[in-house]
């Protein structure tokens, strides 16, 4: 035998009135929504029927209650029993149970939200050709219906809330005005709180001066002056609105919330999921007729339509960017100055954005700031370093060897450069291998080389314990005495081993697995024979002093290139510094 669920009414009332919503303030929205829906229902048969919602805050009613009057369709006695007294029953669904398009409500639970601020809800309602009906509901699930002798002055409904102790402030004039304005300012019927009208006409993007009105709205409501305003439109979702491009950089991981109205009633001030993640530089204000709210009516329901909307809005923002690039490149440059991180993040997945970055974003290179497109045109291969330190060390040396170099060390830059061949397979991209640079340095005259053999041998002996090879070359800039070059794979393994020494056995084992294969190419200290100091060092008579000087050059080259300093390097730096100091300060030792 089948049984039906038993329901504990008090539990359900408590759940729906107290636990579904994030804050008691939504009771204002639910009251507004019912009043507007009732007016909409009345206007189906009587398009010229008045459309008015009036709140009387506690200060005005004088008895501590709040009243809201509407000129809506009202309810007959039978409807009161059916609709107000049955949780989950709504007049806003069709025979099949689907939400009817013209109404804001659909679930048949909204009125219960009033129990967050009231112990008692009274509804006085009058439908056409029917007597006035009074319904009173209590938070414990009881209700009473009477037919009062005194008739309500006109068709419509008055809802009265008797405040719960401790929640009176939610019903007071200032709070009520603020909340009615927040939720209802764009509603198509006039809403007043006391004598104050809180509705302000159609959405700003539908006004006669859309740009001016949207900017004013942004300043007054959102608190910023947008960099740009982009029109949005998705007919399938009945959506219109604007995206406002933020005037300051936004945090790419902090999702921007959007202001979403459904049928001109505010749904959420911080709705997520409306734009693709990459579009974090924009904040939207939209009104939609077809998107669905969650039951708490505080967020958008994640469905296929929302996915379509997100994609369409992404396309519209992308289109705006591309138009800016072709029609207003100067504005685009300004935009990129503020939001380059977002655009670059997007360029990692999106070819159009990649092209935009390639053409319009100026990168640091050792031949001046320029776009990657310009760089490619002038220098062919896009040669780059992936670390800022590496660029700093090698920029001048590479420039002197006519090697143009892009600094790919900033966020996303090297990934963007590596992705360039997606735009055109002809594009050649190469990460600079520091040791390749040495191959471009001029070798010495054989005679000179021969005469310096013993110097090189002495220098090599000084650096042997550090596993570094000494090379003597002539290169520009001549002001640079020495350059420490290490190939990337060796540098990586060096760092791995240093970490391994500090790690616990398990982690060290993992690191060992990574350290397999590939013989190390010894790092090189390339001494510059064009440098006057180096020449003087090669001419020193004392082998000990040559050793100390070469050690000092080694240490200085390490520091200059921001290379990691191992304990052995630190000891050597110390030793050579003291050695040179000792040599520089003359005089006998005294005791």
Ligand X SMILES: Nc1ncnc2c1ncn2[C@@H]1O[C@H](COP(=O)(O)OP(=O)(O)OP(=O)(O)O)[C@@H](O)[C@H]1O
What residues make contact with ligand X under the rule CB under 6 A? Answer: 30, 33-35, 38, 70, 72-73, 75, 83-84, 90-92, 105-111, 157
CB atoms within 10 A of CB 428: 12
Q: State the minimum distance, in angstroms, from the CB of residue 90 to ligand X.
A: 3
- Looking at the Cβ atoms of 105 and 434, the one nearer to ligand X is 105
Residues 458 and 470: their CA atoms lie apart, in Å, by 10
Residue 127 or residue 534: which is nearer to ligand X going by CB? 127
CB of 20 to ligand X, least distance (A): 10
- Assign residue 297 a region (left: φ > 0; alpha: ψ between -120 and 50; beta: otherwise): left
Return the number of the residue (157 or 414) whose C-beta is nearest ligand X.
157
| CB 10, CB 17: distance < 8 Å | no
**Cβ closest to ligand X, residue 35 vs residue 232:** 35
What span, in angstroms and rounded, lies between the C-alpha atoms of 70 and 157?
5
Burial-class residue 585 by CB neighbours within 10 Å (0-12, 13-18, 19+).
exposed
Q: How far is the CB of 272 from ligand X (least distance, A)?
A: 21
Please, which residue, 83 or 367, has the CB nearer to ligand X?
A: 83
Torsion region of 543: left, alpha or beta (phi above 0 gives left; psi -120 to 50 gives alpha): alpha
CB 160, min distance to ligand X, A: 12
Tokens (6 digits) for 222: 């959102």
In whole angstroms, the minimum distance from the beta carbon of 41 to ligand X comes to: 7
Report whether 482 contacts 526 (CB < 8 A): yes
Structure tokens belonging to residue 489: 């794979």
Residue 203 phi/psi, 5-degree rounding, is -55, 150
Distance between CA atoms of residues 589 and 579, nearest Å: 15
Nearest to residue 273, comparing CAs of 265, 264, 263, 288? 288
The count of other CB atoms within 10 Å of the CB of residue 327 is 9
List, in sequence order, every beta strand (DSSP E) within 486-537: 524-528
* Cβ proximity to ligand X, 122 vs 535, nearer residue: 122
Shortest distance, position 12 Cβ to ligand X, whole Å: 13
| Residue 88 tokens, joined | 């989950």
> Beta strands 52-56 and 66-70: pairing type?
antiparallel
Nearer to ligand X, 125 or 365 (CB): 125
Among residues 109 and 354, whose Cβ is nearest to ligand X? Answer: 109
We find the least distance from the C-beta atom of residue 64 to ligand X, in angstroms, to be: 21
| Closer of 58 and 75 to ligand X (Cβ) | 75
Q: Least distance from C-beta 292 to ligand X, angstroms?
A: 11
To the nearest whole angstrom, how small is the minimum distance from the Cβ of residue 363 to ligand X? 53
Q: Point out which residues pair with 384 in neighbouring strands.
A: 406, 431
């Amino acid at each position: 035998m089948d049984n039906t669920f038993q329901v504990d009414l008090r539990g359900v009332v408590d759940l729906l009135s107290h636990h579904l919503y994030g804050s008691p303030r939504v009771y204002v929205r639910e009251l507004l929504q019912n009043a507007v829906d009732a007016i909409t229902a009345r206007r189906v048969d009587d398009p010229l029927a008045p459309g008015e919602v009036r709140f009387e805050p506690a200060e005005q009613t004088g008895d501590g209650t709040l009243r809201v009057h509407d000129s809506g369709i009202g309810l007959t006695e039978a409807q009161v029993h059916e609709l107000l007294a049955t949780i989950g029953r709504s007049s806003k669904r069709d025979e099949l149970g689907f939400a009817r398009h013209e109404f804001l409500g659909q679930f048949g639970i909204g009125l219960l939200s009033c129990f967050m601020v009231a112990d008692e809800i009274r509804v006085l309602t009058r439908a056409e050709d029917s007597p006035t009906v009074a319904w009173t509901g209590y938070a414990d699930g009881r209700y009473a219906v009477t037919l009062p002798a005194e008739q309500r002055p006109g068709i419509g409904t008055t809802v009265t809330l008797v405040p719960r102790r401790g929640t009176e402030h939610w019903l007071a004039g200032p709070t009520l005005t603020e909340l009615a304005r927040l939720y209802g300012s764009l509603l198509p019927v006039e809403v007043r709180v006391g004598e104050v009208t809180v509705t302000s006409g159609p959405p700003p993007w539908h006004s006669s001066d859309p740009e001016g009105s949207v900017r004013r709205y942004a300043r007054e409501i959102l608190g910023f002056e947008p960099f740009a305003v982009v029109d949005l439109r998705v007919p399938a979702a009945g959506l219109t609105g604007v995206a406002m491009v933020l005037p300051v950089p936004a945090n790419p991981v902090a999702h921007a919330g959007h202001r979403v109205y459904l049928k001109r009633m505010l749904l959420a001030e911080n709705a997520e999921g409306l734009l693709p993640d990459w579009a974090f530089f924009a904040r939207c204000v939209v009104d939609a007729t077809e998107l669905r709210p969650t039951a708490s009516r505080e967020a958008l329901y994640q469905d296929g339509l929302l996915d379509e909307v997100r994609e369409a809005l992404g396309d519209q923002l992308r289109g705006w960017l591309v138009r800016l690039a072709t029609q207003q490149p100067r504005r685009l440059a300004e935009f990129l100055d503020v939001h380059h991180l977002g655009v670059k993040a997007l360029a990692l997945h999106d070819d159009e954005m990649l092209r935009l970055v390639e053409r319009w974003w100026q990168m640091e290179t050792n031949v001046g700031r320029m776009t990657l497109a310009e760089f490619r045109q002038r220098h062919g291969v896009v040669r780059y370093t992936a670390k800022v330190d590496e660029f700093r060390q090698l920029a001048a040396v590479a420039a002197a060897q006519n090697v143009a170099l892009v600094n790919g060390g900033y966020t996303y830059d090297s990934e963007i450069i590596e992705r360039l061949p997606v735009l055109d397979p002809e594009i050649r991209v190469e990460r600079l291998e520091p040791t390749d640079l040495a191959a471009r340095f001029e070798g010495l005259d054989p005679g000179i080389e021969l005469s310096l053999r013993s110097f090189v041998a002495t220098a090599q002996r000084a650096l042997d314990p550090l596993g570094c090879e000494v090379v003597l070359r002539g290169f520009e800039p001549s002001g640079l005495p020495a350059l420490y070059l290490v190939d990337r794979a060796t540098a990586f393994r060096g760092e791995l081993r240093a970490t391994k020494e500090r790690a616990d056995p398990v982690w060290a084992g993992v690191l060992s697995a990574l350290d397999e294969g590939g013989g190390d190419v010894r790092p090189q200290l390339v001494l510059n024979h064009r440098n006057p100091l180096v020449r003087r060092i090669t001419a020193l008579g004392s082998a000990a002093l040559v050793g100390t000087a070469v050690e000092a050059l080694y240490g200085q080259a390490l520091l200059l290139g921001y290379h990691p300093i191992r304990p052995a390097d630190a000891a050597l730096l110390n030793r050579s510094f003291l050695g040179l100091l000792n040599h520089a300060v003359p005089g006998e030792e005294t005791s």
